[in-house]
Amino acid sequence: MSINSTVLSTPTGPLSILADHDGQVLAAGFTPDPEALPALIHPSLRAPVRQRADLGPTTDAVRSYLDGDLAAIDSVPVRQHTGGEFMAHAWQVLRDVPPGAPVTYTGYAALAGRPPAVRAAAAACARNAAALFVPCHRVLRTDGSLGGYRWGLDVKKWLLGHERRLTAS
């Protein structure tokens, strides 16, 4: 078995995506080098990486998102393996945070059902391997500042601005 990879151009730089044979996203990140992503994947999900020009519905979803259909990425299946129930649940909750309506880490912990677990919510963002598809860029510090982002604050700022522009009424 192998992992399929592609690199897509975005206004904020290249987006590399790794997907399994069923089309489930295993990892994604704003890097030109898909070979940098397997380290983010749980060892049980790793396999040789095979370059592809296109990942079908996943590629289409990213292009639609970039063209303004912010919900297009919501239906892309994601497969991340964790060591705990909270992490998997927190990632699913994060997929339900609407574009243009970022939450704070405190708010995210509450949405995940564990209001005092702000550090665990932050850890879920930090350990998220499927950037964009599990939109950890939609989580901000309590004071509204950007906080951290594995792929750089310029990328996070662009993603939030893109979503804000398209959802502003």
> How do residues 29-82 score in pLDDT, each as one tens digit?
999 999 999 999 989 899 999 999 999 999 999 999 999 999 999 999 999 987
CA 1 to chain centroid = 24
Please identify which of the residues 19, 26, 97, 136 carries the catalytic annotation.
Answer: 136
Interior CA angle at 94 toward 145 and 110, to 5°? 75
Is residue 136 part of the annotated active site? The answer reads yes
Give the three-class secondary structure for 16. strand
- What whole-number distance in Å separates Cα of residue 120 and Cα of residue 111? 12
> How do residues 71-116 score in pLDDT, each as one tens digit?
999 999 999 987 678 899 999 999 999 999 999 999 999 999 999 9
